[in-house]
Structure 1
Amino acid sequence: MDTPELWQFTSSHFNEKARWALDFKRVPHIRHSLIPGFHVPVIKRMTGKTHVPVLKLNGAAISDSSKIIEALERAYPEPALYPADPDERRRALELQDYFDEELGPYIRRWIFYVILPYPQFVRAAFVSHASPAAQLAQGAMSPLIGVIMRRQMNINPATAEIARNKTLAAMDRLEHEVRPSGYLVSDRFTVADLTAAALLSPLVRPPEFPYKAAGPLPEPLAKIRDSVSTHRAFRWTLETYRQHRGESAEVATQANVSRIKTDANRTANTGS
């Protein structure tokens, strides 16, 4: 079996969801960290689409974090993220779908609305892993990239307010769903817990998140984080990361490092 390969953005919450599943299952894998915008030709060649994460597993390129976890459950069943009990499994998958649809897109829109006026912070979060040439190219194009992101993600004051309300509603739902055990389903960590915690990570910013942005948070984001820091969902996310995030299972090979640099330089030079 070939070593699985994950194509990712370092700071994306849906990418963190797939990455966490690989690490939780202790699956040795190679990571290809791409630059938003410049990633399009690379991913489109693989899947015909443009979104990450993408996992190459047993010759297949799998996109969508939930489908990636489903494939990992089949290929690496232990430790399981899906409960064995049918009713508990149904509940875990329903909660995964809820947070995927009702939290993931909205917290992303809200956070980007807040941080896009701070291009240096965005660059540190998404591009610090790349070669100097690629970082320069992204810096030069950051105003254009910001315009494109606002258009593609429908980011404006009105939609940001909707996104804020949806995020807070999802946090309230999480608070309601947590069982006496501290988990969302029964008495153990499942795909539901992983999904909710990973998708809240851009706001909560737990210390165990594997990629740290250099420098302080932009003041508006710091204020938002402080305003929700006493919410049970916020504290639950911190505790879930502390207990279950664990160490990386990434395989750091020289071939992988060279390939990442080549991809970054190619996209920086072509811009397509």
Structure 2
Amino acid sequence: MRRRNRVPEVIWFSHSSCGSKIIRKHRQSRRERGARNRDDIKPLHNVKLYSQLVNPFTEKVACALALKGVHYQRLEVSGSDEVKQLSPDKQILPVLEVDGKRVSGSVDIIRWIEELYPEPSLYAADPKTRHQQESLADWSDTSFAFYWNRWLTAVEENERNRVASSGGILSRIHQHVDRQLGIGQDDEMASLASVRNIMDELGRRMDDLVGFLGNRPYFFADQLSVADLAVFGMLLVIRDGPMPRSIVLLADRPTLAAHTARLSKLTQQGIGERDSQSDD
């Protein structure tokens, strides 16, 4: 698998008005996840997970917390100023706060969770296997975020062009004449082809995962690891988001779809509590 340069986690969610509208328009209704009465709740008294509305790195952390049996509150961050306040050094999300102490970035957060609660472990005891798990997690984070941001940039550019071309009456007349003469159609076709190419490449990256997963329930035999969490977070957000054909792309790969559903069920059985203000 070709490794891409790491994409900062905060880039995943666009704070631009267009990006926000795109994501909110296609947002899937989510069932409120109230606290569960479970005997295995870990005794952390005040655990908060800060994130944007849509963030696959947050889903990765949320899954880890659920698997560890940690009760937490999920809070939505509204803008860049709040990100700087929560994570002044890295300025990235998600941020996990435990009894006043904060750690930002999903990689460091999961390592911290592993230190607090070693069981069940998210890493193999064998150093070589652990390195492979972390490498696959890193590849998933960077590769799928790369395609998401390419797609979102293309959509935002198309939206800006559409708004610019829908101005006054004179602009609409020019637009009508251009359509009659075939002017601008090449740009529109090129834009559509670009989106198709992005989705085709995304499908090939899913094929890479299918080959690696094989018929195993998890990427490393029967043990769920940080690699599974990383892949799950990315595919969950892609599947439920606005990218065209994303549901079909995943459904056409049954073993990968089953893997996503398997971890989604585990997360839904977790004990995360979404803040009441996050859906306002």
CA–CA distance in structure 2, aligned partners of residues 192 and 227 of structure 1: 20
1:173 to 208, 211, 218: 208
Distance in structure 1 (CA, Å) of the matches to 2:100 and 2:222: 35
Question: Which secondary structure state, in structure 2, belongs to the residue aligned with residue 103 of structure 1?
Answer: helix
% identical equivalent positions: 24
Q: Give the Å deviation of 1:193.
A: 1.0
Change (3 A) 1:163 1:3: farther
For the pair 1:43 / 2:83, whether they are aligned, the reply is yes
The DSSP-based 3-state class of the residue aligned with 2:203 is helix
Corresponding residue for 2:70?
27
Q: Deviations over 1:52-88 (max 9, x none)?
A: 1111135432111111111100011112111222222
Deviation at 1:203, TM superposition (A): 2.8
Residue 157 of structure 1: CA displacement?
6.7
Alpha-carbon distance change, 227 to 181 in structure 1, aligned in 2, over 3 angstroms: closer
Measured in 2, the distance between the counterparts of 1:108 and 1:240 equals: 26
Deviation at 1:230, TM superposition (A): 1.0
Give 1:63's aligned residue: 104
CA RMSD of aligned residues (A): 3.3
Question: 1:85–1:192: structure 2 CA closer, same or farther, 3 Å change rule?
Answer: same
Q: Who is 1:187 aligned against?
A: 222
Distance across 2 between alignment mates of 1:170 and 1:94: 15
1:81 maps to 2:127: no
Could you tell me how far apart the structure 1 residues matched to 2:156 and 2:45 are?
38
CA contact (8 A) 2:56 2:234 kept: yes
Amino acid corresponding to residue 97 of structure 2 in structure 1 = K
Residue pair 1:174, 1:233 contacting (<8 A) in 2 also: no
Query: Given the superposition, is the C-alpha separation of residues 117 and 111 from structure 1 closer, same or farther in structure 2, using an over 3 Å criterion?
Result: same
Matched, 1:225 2:247: yes
Aligned-residue offset at 1:199: 0.5
Gap runs ≥5 in structure 1: 119-155, 206-216, 265-272
TM-score (norm 2): 0.61
The alignment covers a number of residue pairs equal to: 205
1:207-226 matches, within 5 Å, as 221=244, 223-226=245-248
* Cross-structure match for 1:202: 237
Give per-residue Cα distances to partners, 1:153-200, cap 9 Å, x unaligned.
Answer: xxx878756643542232111111114432111222111111111101
Other-structure match for 2:54: 11
Q: How far apart are residue 247 of structure 1 and its match? A: 2.0
- Provide the C-alpha distance between the structure 1 equivalents of 2:205 and 2:142, rounded to a whole number of angstroms: 10
**Equivalent residue of 1:245, what SS?**
helix
Moved over 4 A (4+): 111-118, 156-163
**Which whole-Å CA distance do the structure 2 matches of 1:62 and 1:40 have between them?**
17
Paired with 1:12 and 1:77, the residues of 2 have a C-alpha distance of 25
Matched position secondary structure for 1:188: coil
Letter of the structure 1 residue corresponding to residue 107 of structure 2: S
Partner SS for 2:228: helix
Is the 2:72–2:273 Cα contact (8 Å) retained in structure 1? Answer: yes
Where do residues 20-169 of structure 1 align in structure 2 (5 Å cutoff)? 20-35=63-78, 39-48=79-88, 49-110=90-151, 113=154, 163-169=198-204
Q: Do the aligned partners of 1:4 and 1:57 also contact (CA within 8 Å) in 2?
A: yes
Quick one: structure 1 residues 25 and 116, their matched pair in 2 at CA, closer, same or farther if it must change by over 3 Å? farther
CA distance in 2, matches of 1:69, 1:81: 9
| Ranges in structure 2 where 5+ consecutive residues have no aligned partner | 1-43, 160-190
Structure 1 contact 99–170 (Cα < 8 Å) conserved: no
Mean Cα deviation higher: 12-21 or 52-61: 52-61
**TM-score (normalizing by structure 1):** 0.63
